[in-house]
């Protein structure tokens, strides 16, 4: 990479799905990835989408355009992974930004890893912000649970998968969304190979795989180590914990504090290792 070369950021955009109504929309994490890219100074942003443009997904794709980009490169009719690889290679990007997992289909979150493997680049997931871009490396912030953050330095080129805790994507405006272009890309080297591979992959598993609307997972019951019939009977017949809460009136402040701390420790939200 020459010294004067600007950072080129490929942003992978997919069609999302609203969690309540299942309507197509911009995928939340991908939009956050685009937001991160747009906030980088002196970076060329290359938005990529692999798939077909149709009535069902046009509005969703356009809502990325509404964030203020002039065009999305559309890589049509190929295996997603191969399409992405080619798209990224041809765009000469040195950073790939994407969401952690898709909102439709399997949504396994494997694609960024597979892409990184194919490109031979390192991957960092859980990205919340890009602090600094140097020649050949980037300083990142990674999300840890409970709002904690960790600083990482990664050598470029790299694939960066954005965490749901990253900054919320800007509003999508109607005007730019309508005017922006979705440009189909002609990629040179995919052709027949990809077709064969797609068939191969789908033959492998799709006949076994079934999708259903998500079932509500049963709440885990308290495990009762019932060694006798009597214990089992008692456990089965025991009145469920009263749904109404416990109300303590006229207790001393100390007792009240003890009750609170007891519950906090039970729920393990209180970390006693912390500073005083």
Those residues with Cβ within 8 angstroms of residue 75's Cβ, 6 or more apart along the chain or in another chain: 48, 49, 50, 51, 83, 84, 86, 87, 184, 185, 187
Separation CA 133–CA 41 (nearest Å): 9
Those residues with Cβ within 8 angstroms of residue 254's Cβ, 6 or more apart along the chain or in another chain: none
Separation CA 6–CA 228 (nearest Å): 72
Footprint of another protein on 124-153 (CB under 8 A) = 124-126, 139, 141-153
Closer CB to another protein, residue 186 or residue 219? 219
104 contacts another protein (rule: CB under 8 A) = yes
Separation CA 167–CA 38 (nearest Å): 12
270 contacts another protein (rule: CB under 8 A) = yes
| Residue 208: CB minimum distance to another protein, A | 5
Q: How many residues bind another protein (CB under 8 A)?
A: 103
Footprint of another protein on 167-196 (CB under 8 A) = 170-176
Dihedral sign, Cα of residue 154, residue 36, residue 116, residue 6: negative
Q: Which stretch binds another protein (CB under 8 A): 5-13, 34-42, 88-96, 265-273?
A: 265-273
Query: Binding another protein by CB under 8 A: which of 37, 80, 158, 187?
Result: 158
| Residue 239: CB minimum distance to another protein, A | 17
Give the closest residue to 12 by CA, choosing from 55, 66, 74.
Answer: 74
Query: Binding another protein by CB under 8 A: which of 42, 220, 222, 239?
Result: 220
Give the closest residue to 33 by CA, choosing from 99, 112, 115.
Answer: 99
Closer CB to another protein, residue 23 or residue 191? 23
| Residue 51: CB minimum distance to another protein, A | 16
Beta strand 71-75 with 181-184 is: parallel
Footprint of another protein on 29-68 (CB under 8 A) = 66-68
Footprint of another protein on 196-215 (CB under 8 A) = 204-205, 208-215
Query: Binding another protein by CB under 8 A: which of 5, 18, 56, 189?
Result: 18
């Amino acid at each position: 990479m020459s010294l004067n070369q600007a950072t080129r950021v490929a942003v992978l955009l997919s069609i999302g799905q609203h969690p309540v109504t299942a309507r197509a929309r911009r995928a939340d994490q991908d939009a956050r990835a685009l937001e991160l890219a747009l906030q980088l100074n002196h970076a060329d942003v290359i938005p990529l989408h692999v798939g077909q443009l149709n009535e069902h997904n046009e509005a969703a794709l356009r809502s990325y355009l509404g964030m203020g980009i002039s065009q999305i490169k559309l890589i049509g009719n190929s295996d997603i992974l191969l399409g992405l690889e080619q798209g990224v290679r041809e765009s000469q990007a040195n950073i790939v930004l994407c969401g952690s997992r898709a909102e439709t289909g399997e949504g396994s979150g494997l694609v960024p890893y597979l892409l990184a493997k194919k490109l031979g680049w390192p991957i960092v997931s859980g990205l919340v912000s890009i602090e600094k871009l140097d020649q050949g490396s980037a300083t990142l912030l990674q999300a840890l649970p409970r709002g904690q953050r960790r600083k990482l330095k990664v050598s470029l080129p790299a694939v960066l998968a954005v965490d749901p805790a990253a900054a919320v994507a800007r509003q999508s405006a109607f005007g730019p969304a309508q005017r922006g272009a979705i440009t189909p890309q002609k990629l040179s080297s995919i052709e027949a190979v990809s077709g064969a591979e797609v068939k191969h992959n789908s033959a492998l598993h799709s006949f076994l795989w079934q999708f259903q609307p998500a079932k509500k997972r049963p709440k885990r019951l308290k495990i009762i180590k019932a060694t006798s019939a009597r214990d089992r009977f008692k456990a089965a017949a025991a009145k469920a914990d009263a749904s109404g809460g416990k109300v303590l009136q006229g207790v001393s402040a100390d007792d009240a504090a003890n009750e609170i701390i007891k519950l906090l420790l039970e729920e393990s939200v209180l970390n006693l290792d912390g500073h005083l």
